[in-house]
Structure 1
Amino acid sequence: MAIPSTEWKEQISVNEAERFQRQGKAIRAAHALKNARYGKGRFLHRKPVVTAEARLDIAHDLPEHARHGVFASPGPKRALVRLSNGAFDIQANTRPDIRGFALRILDVEGEAALGGIADHQDFLLINHDSFASKDSNEFVEFATLAAHGQASAIWTLFLNHGLAATISRLKTLAAVIGKPFAGFAAERFNTVLPHRIGPYAAKLLLVPTSPSAMTSKDPGADIEAKLKAGPIEYRLCLQFYTDESATPLEDHRKVWDEGMTPLIEVGRLTLLKAGPDLESLKFDPWGGLEDHRPLGEIMRARKSAYYISQKARLG
């Protein structure tokens, strides 16, 4: 078993700021198209499936490398959860999609990743263990093109990259979106992209303690029914960076090997009841403590992308 390391290093290129600025213009235009169609809302994960009040119980006797930020002290913290479909279109819950699990931990105070003092910590997770795009350029290009329509997106990709590359990217996307989904109470969720854990780095995962597969074809109706029947509990786990071979910091297409870097449970998250309107909240991977600052090129791109999206949605 590999030992968690503090020797991680981000690879920051000299032209990142210019690249993120170009991406921002594309996101702003694509977001405006979707707002014109559906009204103001998030660019991705626009449709909430269920929101819930929750409680996070931080475990006692955690190893030293886990005791940072929100995990520094044991005990309960209030939390909010927004479960969502990943698409920027409003569509039926039964359609294949990436599923999102946005977690906001309350009762937090400390130096913020964006400066000032943080009073909460956001972690954004999806039902995948890897990222389909090699970098932010690839992701933003397809996401913003797709907002103009599928045919237009495919044609532009073909013009920009050729037939073979376009077919390859479409196959990858189809596999990601078409992945069978067992339900919000059955599947595990992963930040995919790492965060700081004090001087260490780790991905965060939520794993149902008693997985319960869907009894309805509609994931939203299923999780609502389960919440009405009683609380739903997940293990909150960390998977630590050990080295660039087993746990690359910047290549998010590689799944971190749990044989080498096993999950460490740091708490239990319990969804208590459905209901609060969370659409005015800014769930943001950069919304929280410096001790949990997001890491990697795609996370750095998300800092400006989320700001642009929030301005388009909330002004």
Structure 2
Amino acid sequence: MPSTQWREVFLPDENTQHTEQAHVFSELQRKRLKKHGHGRALHRNQVAALKAVLVVEEDLPDYARQGIFAAPAAFEAHVRLSNGNFSVDRAPDIRGFAIKVLGASTPSSVAVEQNFTLVSQETLAVRGSADVVRIVDLSTSAPGAALRKAAMNPQLTRSAVANFRDMTKPFTGFATHDFFSIMPIAFGDYAARLKVCAASTKINKAARRDLAADIFTRLTDDDLEFRFQAQFFEDETRTPIEDSSVRWDAPWLTVARLRLPRQAPDAALAETIEKSSFNPWTAATEHRPLGELMRARLAAYSLSWRNRDVTP
């Protein structure tokens, strides 16, 4: 059964560490701004911007009826699908599935904006935010500098290779792939990792060449419905809060359905979504992100947002 006995681990002077790490991403963003123009530090390539509805399930167990999932409801939402790479639909890559729930309500408040950010990997082979920053720095360095950094830190190299291996796994398209939060969020007094389940098992072999065309072709014919699931913390051994490299050993529970109605590309919507922020810390109190890695993201997202429109 889900437990409320989870705990976060706070590092000594982690606020200073996270601020310094955020500036690494800021410098990366500055360099890319000169070459590619204004935009995000990561996941700059927006594949599709979509209208959606998040429909909360009926008859959820008590432990799942928390925050925006406290009662059956249907909330308007926006979805941003993205590539991590700048090159369109190139592999290897880590894909993003970001959801902005608009005007949701919770038992303690109304008109809450709730952001969920998920990616195409279930786990991330790092020990914490410091490893993430080093891997990003390694992957974006010139070949000579990257080799020197790899030689000085073999453990980091192994971690980078493990993550790269996950990124090379076949990606069949946004409608036919599962997406994960990697790190947990609060679920009232409980904690849970999140998953968006593939809406279809019908794979389009041409999808890899144009992921946007694949999703919009599907939405020309019919709606798409994704199951939105939560996997609850049970104990620190099988469901560790802080370790992003561990696949949790606990059942998944469908708490909502994410419905994409039939729609065509909408330039105005695409611009609105591109200009908006999908920050997991924009959340109801009941669904705040958990863990050191997520606290590091708070500093990085805030600085990235401020730097988006800075003149190079």
Q: TM-score, structure 1 length as denominator?
A: 0.90
Matched-pair contact (CA < 8 Å) for 1:188–1:208:
yes
Shift of 1:21: 1.8
Match of 2:198 among 208, 219, 242: 208
Match of 2:278 among 283, 296, 302: 283
Change (3 A) 1:254 1:118: farther
Aligned length: 302
Residues 1:65 and 2:57 are matched in the alignment: no
Match of 2:177 among 187, 191, 196: 187
Task: Tell me the secondary structure at the aligned position of residue 103 of structure 2.
Answer: coil
> What is the letter of the counterpart of residue 258 of structure 2?
L
Task: Tell me the secondary structure at the aligned position of residue 23 of structure 1.
Answer: helix
Shift of 1:271: 1.2
Change (3 A) 1:107 1:211: farther
Task: Tell me the secondary structure at the aligned position of residue 61 of structure 1.
Answer: coil
> What is the letter of the counterpart of residue 306 of structure 1?
Y
Matched-pair contact (CA < 8 Å) for 1:142–1:153:
no
Q: 1:190-225: CA deviations, max 9, x gaps?
A: 101100000000011111243231231322321222
Shift of 1:119: 2.8
Shift of 1:110: 5.7
Q: Identity of counterpart residues, as a percentage?
A: 34
Matched-pair contact (CA < 8 Å) for 2:124–2:163:
no
Q: TM-score, structure 2 length as denominator?
A: 0.91
200-209 or 239-248: bigger deviation: 200-209
**Structure 1 segments unaligned to the other structure (5+ residues):** none
Matched-pair contact (CA < 8 Å) for 1:118–1:288:
no
Matched-pair contact (CA < 8 Å) for 2:199–2:226:
yes
90-99 or 230-239: bigger deviation: 90-99
102-111 or 226-235: bigger deviation: 102-111
Q: Which residue of structure 1 aligns with residue 127 of structure 2?
A: 134
Shift of 1:314: 4.1
Q: Which residue of structure 2 aligns with residue 306 of structure 1?
A: 301
Q: Which residue of structure 2 aligns with residue 91 of structure 1?
A: 87
Residues 1:175 and 2:172 are matched in the alignment: no
Q: 1:144-201: CA deviations, max 9, x gaps?
A: 3433434423322323x1xx43542342132022111121111111101100000000
**Structure 2 segments unaligned to the other structure (5+ residues):** none
289-298 or 136-145: bigger deviation: 136-145
Match of 1:270 among 259, 278, 301: 259
Task: Tell me the secondary structure at the aligned position of residue 117 of structure 2.
Answer: strand
Matched-pair contact (CA < 8 Å) for 1:154–1:166:
no
Structure 1 segments, 4+ long, off by >4 Å, are 109-112
